[in-house]
Structure 1
Amino acid sequence: MPYKPLPKPFQAWQHWLSRFDENLQPIIADLLLQFNLFIGSISESRCSKQLSSDSSDLQKRGKYEHLLTTEWLIAQEEPDEFIRRAANNEHLFLTPAYEKPKANGVIIALFDCGLLQLGMPRVAHLILMILFDIRAHNLNSQFYWGILQSNSELMLFSGIEELKLLLKNRTMNCLDTKHLDYWKDYLKQSELLYDECWIIGNNFSKVDFATHKISINRLISKFTSLSVDMTNNKISNHFELKLPNEVICAKMLSGLFESGSNYAVINEQSYLPLNANLHLDISPNSNHVLVFNSENNKICFITINDILSQRQVCRVKNYSLKSHVLGLDIQGKHIVALYQENQKYYLWGSDIPKRELSEEININAINQLSYFLYLYGDHNPKLLYIDEHQSLYSVYWINYYGDILNSQHEIAKNVIVLFKLSEKQACYIYQDDQAQFCITGYALNHLSYYLSIKKINENLQYFISSENLWLTGFGHLAVGFEHQWQVFVDENSYVEVTTPLEWQVFGFFYDNHEEKINFLIIDKDKKQVALFDYLSHKIDVCFKSSYKIVLYHYNSLAQSFSVIMDNGELILYSLKTQSIRLKLHKAD
């Protein structure tokens, strides 16, 4: 993360790492470390060895069977002198001392950029390219590289632009013997004296001109790792390269890794009123942010490019509703609002016509509903909400093409909290007649679990994560108040957790890639947001500002949080990319 200093083992690579976006530096460092441990130290130089200018170690080199003939004669004629010389290391051996030249031979790497190496294997290519340059630099040497499918000359590696050039050189042609024969002849005729010639791709069993061969393959069973095999004339090694998450890999493969290259953040200006009546929401795909002003019923809807897109897009739309808004939700890329006007209830959407609720439908709410969801049904969309009496209702059309929502159904009583799991499914926690807590699914037949929740406070908070797990079984749930929490990873057991005293919990995040559960916390000064790993008790700051945070919101489906600072700036931060995606400044 951007404010986490690099560990000491990576300090030697700081010169190279500093060229990358600060969010990427720890990730690149980790990948470098994995490969560096795997490929080992530099081979012995193939350059011509030179006689040592100092022959003082002549008598110390080699084994005793390599003694000069004169020494053996002394052993026969003057045994005492032979022993004296042995004791004083004065014997002369056959082999004089040699030393490597100060400048070693160059390092060469040839990359397979064909079909079998497209996608994630290219991430490994980038890391190897960086590592070879570091390797050559440490030896006061040079690093040359080329594309196996290209009948061209080797290129001298000169900087980060070479990484982008490697990414651009992709081809639909698979590697064949003609390509290998070309490079074998090229290196034979070349005047370059190399210590190492690396060939990187897939299945090089018949290649004889390379000193090292690295084969990279995708793993069907593990999408988060690559299978890597290395062979040379001495050994064969195998390991699994653990990759960062797919979003970060996609950004790297797009060439958006250079410091200052706008890796993730979109900077825009817009008028954003700042008051205590603002409410924030984030779409499940994290591409939309909704800012609602309950004082005047105005909505600011911000749309940015998809998280994997290379385009930098930011659109801000403003809507104004004339009447009292009871509920808001984001479904897909559109807003849905439930509002009251002249004692009647209406459903409004940015992409659907205004529709009235039947007079038979009564929504017990004076203020804005604490929980309101708009879900797609098998046949008709449905509204889910919890009223002021803690009853969960669904409202829907019997005839979708009609103008009036004419059906209401009470799902459960004593409902405490409602969560969206997908565009079609939800779950909720309620207390039954025996005051037992139960989590139950909506449009999910399997989901019904009783929970041993300690009611340590009347105002318990509830957070879920791993929504995809809840769709098929039990996911992750946190229940607590202030600093005392219960973390459920299955129905029958929980872990009691004490969160840091100087921080406040406002979210629960499960990292699918690292398989870690973290609390999302904000410090007491409201200037830092961090992840708290309750197993290791580590706090990892992911966002900080010199301005005070006055409003914050986390969406577990989006794995993103949004904050508004007291200077009027809105920030959208993605825990997937571990970076800021949007900075919306208050217009001057």
Structure 2
Amino acid sequence: MQLPEALRPWRQWLEWFAPQHLPLFADLLGRLNPLLGPLRGLHQGGVPEPDGLGDLHRRGPYERLLSSEWLLADEVPDEFLRRAVGGEHMFLAPQYRAREANRLIVVLFDAGPLQLGAARLVHLALLMLLARRAEEAGAQLRWGVLQGKPELHELDSPAQLKRLLEARTYEVVSDDHWLAWRDALADQAAGECWVVGQRLPHIDPRVCTHRVQIARSLDGRSLSFALASRRVLLPMPDAQQAVRLLKGQFDDAVHTPAPSATGRVARVALTLPPVISGSGNYVALRLLDEPGMVVIKLPHKNQKKALEVRRRLWGKHEHVFAATFHYRSLGAVVGASNHLNFWNIPGLGFADKPSREDMHLPPGTATFLPAVWLRGQQSERLYLLDTQGHLAYWQGPRHAPKGAGVVVTRDVLGMAQVDALTLVYARSEGGQLVTYSAWADGEKTSGYAVGAAAGVSQILFASTAHWEYAFGGCALLTQHGTHQSWRLVTDDSFPAKKAQIDLAPGWKAIGLHHQVGAQERYSLVLLGPNQYTIGLYMEGRQQVLFTTSAPIARASYCPMSGLVAVLTTARELCVFAVSERTMRMQVLCDLKQESANG
């Protein structure tokens, strides 16, 4: 994001907001910053503590007079008196150790009815100013809410700003609130303690170093910001913009409430990603307490009835290697000892587990292996890609011995289903990456070279109609330090022209989205470096799609349906439609199940 020179000190916090909000915060930051004054607590403060003896001085209390001087008083009293009058006596001087200043800045906000509305936006601006103040001094910033539990929070993500906005209450700050905080801060020894609000109780100045009063003018056209003897009037922000910010809508995302459907969803594991059906109607998650998956049907808009939730279980002692959908049916590859079980996939049943040379299938993998389940007119076929680049398929008994596994090829870098009947994969051949298409009844013998294989560590495929007869579009990853660089190869750029996309440090692409409209557009679906954000890179511009209230543990993207599904550390499942920019579902998956498989 390009910022004016005056705003660059607060760049890391302003990046959380869409460009249209920057003028509002530029005005607030510019007006408030000169009022803050110098930072307290940087000098060595407190009462010096003795730390042994230091030098000899000509002055001092007589209890620290040198012993030799007292001997002179006994032997030659007149000389002792003369030396006393002339200031020639020698005294021991103690060595002092100064207490180091505390480098903690604490700010407590009034979240009550007197601070509702535009005053909360001033809270956000002040919090960013103090965060910069702490950073410049090598200090730490912590914030809390006066009416809340005495608990301090960091400012490390936009989720913390939203947390402050959501802390609104209709309770006015009382003396009891302040006393609870005063006791809690007794052990913190903050260098600065800011208290922000209106009609604040009597506050001990030895604990509170800065008292800020924010009040609305009588005519309602401005806000008054007062700190000690300094005061400034702030204009009221645009009402529509203020409402959006107060709702926590900081970015460019289209914020549509998730459907209000309710339902009980079993507790799920955080170690495996969501599995999305190509039709865009179902999402499956690995159960935490049982050997199986929970399948959730995505609700319709304005759905009032409970979610349709099913639990599908396999054998207690079987390990799951992969899970995939065929329309509404969920299938999986599970195994125990020396056999594989193609669970819920008609016509496949059991098979001998391939040797390690043919397929690397370790139990307890950190993620699902890529798998595609295709159904032809006369056969079922399950494709599986292992961690070593070996691609194999198992086919129904009409075209092969029952349970026989066929290794298609090696050196495969990626695979994806691009429509109901087709999968594509890319393999390295003679230093080039070549893409191929396959169906339930066979695969193409000729492919499309999309670029050099050297340095490419990942490939993403777009779901387009072009794959039916030609090349459909992909993106190739090369990693450079902390940032990803992608080569975008589309049907109209193939085979010559390729777009280069360099992502900001820490951002990762998890999918390649294709949107059909007046013109075809390809975009990268992104996971943010703070693990709270899902974004989109499209036509040279990066934007935020949505943010979560807890860190994202696992994220999946389905190119066929255009859905992103994320599972947070709080076990909240969020499903977002990229093309429509709408949240399809938000549901907590943390309830223990008491019954058997339903």
Q: TM-score, normalised by structure 2?
A: 0.49
Q: TM-score, normalised by structure 1?
A: 0.50
